[in-house]
Structure 1
């Protein structure tokens, strides 16, 4: 038994809306994946940046400790030289050099201490940073697997829904098919509208009682206001 045209329109609307939603979800997938990849990349940079900071601090500590040893050796030489100076002018100049060396030594000691404190803080945080990076990788792996599974389900649903839509559209009478195809090409899923509570659900225009009766009996109608193909939906 051939279904009423209004029943066909109802099913075509349902299926085309569903297919449209499925395609949107499929198209959104690559954007979501890219966003998650960017988040993973941020976590990777944070992890590697943390390790690089520790490496840089260790290098700075070694360099400053080397400079400190050189400064201490120079200071010792200056103080030794001070003992053999007899000229007052040379003596004052040497005292000035010693003062500068001591100032540099103090600055290096402060810098080394600050580096050691920062290095201890960064080293203590390494375990948490590593844990966060490992968790980010694990989360991404799970997301990627679930995304692939979801994509496969969406594609299967899309294929089955398209096949079902084709079966329904094959039942559209020949005298309506050209108008149907034209409206669908122009409006997609919005080419249809249910009539509920006596109103077109597409544009909220009131539909006459006579049109509603004809829709219920299977006569094809379009909304006189928005042009959508109508079908009757039971009032809630």
Structure 2
């Protein structure tokens, strides 16, 4: 096998390894993103529980305040009614009766408000229970998700280490005159620094390749794309055996 042919074969192998590594890294990186999203969902449910509890607390305090007001007003009505027996004149008696009537009417309005407040509290209690249930469900989902991520990480990490080790060994097979330039382009472009020929175009940027370039590729050499700078190689199923 000639050095030129070896170089093209190596690029096919290297590109496949780079793609595998990027795929494995992407699968690994999903785990932390999923966990972060799960944590955010749990935090949102916790906030919903806190907000619901605070609304319920305020509603109960408001209802208690209204009930206290009603109790005070009812006592005032009783006190005013007691004064009827000691009224010194019809005018005072009538004034006391009017005050009692007005207070009773105000108490009826306040009683209606208390009933509405208690109904609102019942609704808030129901909503609070719902958000608590949502929180429990989210926490369970997050625990299960975390376990799945840990299991997936435990499976993928050895594969990634194996492929990275294989990449290191294959890179050592590059001819010295190619190695430095290869390292530079991989550092700059990653796996996109290598590209298979796609028909008669660069597989990276789809720039049309000249017949002379295609001849080089059919000779199993690699060429540099003038448009994107990627190292182009001929796919395995199109190379010519010599």
TM value normalised by structure 2: 0.82
Where structure 1 has 5 or more consecutive residues not aligned to the other structure, the ranges are: none
Q: CA deviation at 1:71?
A: 1.3
Contact preservation (8 Å) 2:196, 2:203: yes
Name the SS for the 1:215 alignment partner.
Answer: helix
Name the SS for the 2:232 alignment partner.
Answer: strand
CA distance in 1, matches of 2:219, 2:177: 18
Alpha-carbon RMSD: 2.7
CA distance in 1, matches of 2:186, 2:47: 49
Residue 99 to residue 142, structure 1, CA distance change in 2 (3 Å): same
- Corresponding residue of 1:227: 229
CA distance in 1, matches of 2:222, 2:124: 74
Residue 211 to residue 147, structure 1, CA distance change in 2 (3 Å): same
- Corresponding residue of 1:196: 198
- Corresponding residue of 1:79: 81
CA distance in 1, matches of 2:199, 2:54: 68
1:177-228, Cα deviation, whole Å (9 max, x unpaired): 1111121122221111111211111121222344334324332321233221
- Corresponding residue of 2:112: 110
Residue 222 to residue 48, structure 1, CA distance change in 2 (3 Å): same
1:5-61, Cα deviation, whole Å (9 max, x unpaired): 111111212222332343344445434322221211111222343344444444443
- Corresponding residue of 2:179: 177
Q: CA deviation at 1:126?
A: 5.3
CA distance in 1, matches of 2:33, 2:193: 28
Contact preservation (8 Å) 2:221, 2:233: no
1:151-201, Cα deviation, whole Å (9 max, x unpaired): 333433321221111121111011111111121122221111111211111
Q: CA deviation at 1:140?
A: 1.1
CA distance in 1, matches of 2:160, 2:106: 74
Name the SS for the 2:224 alignment partner.
Answer: coil
CA distance in 1, matches of 2:104, 2:121: 25
Map of 1:20-99 to 2, 5 A cutoff? 20-87=22-89, 90-91=92-93, 93-95=95-97, 97-99=99-101
- Residues 1:138 and 2:140 aligned together: yes
CA distance in 2, matches of 1:32, 1:190: 27
Tell me the matched-pair count. 235
Contact preservation (8 Å) 2:35, 2:142: no
- Corresponding residue of 1:168: 170
Structure 1 stretch 194-203 or stretch 221-230: which is displaced more?
221-230
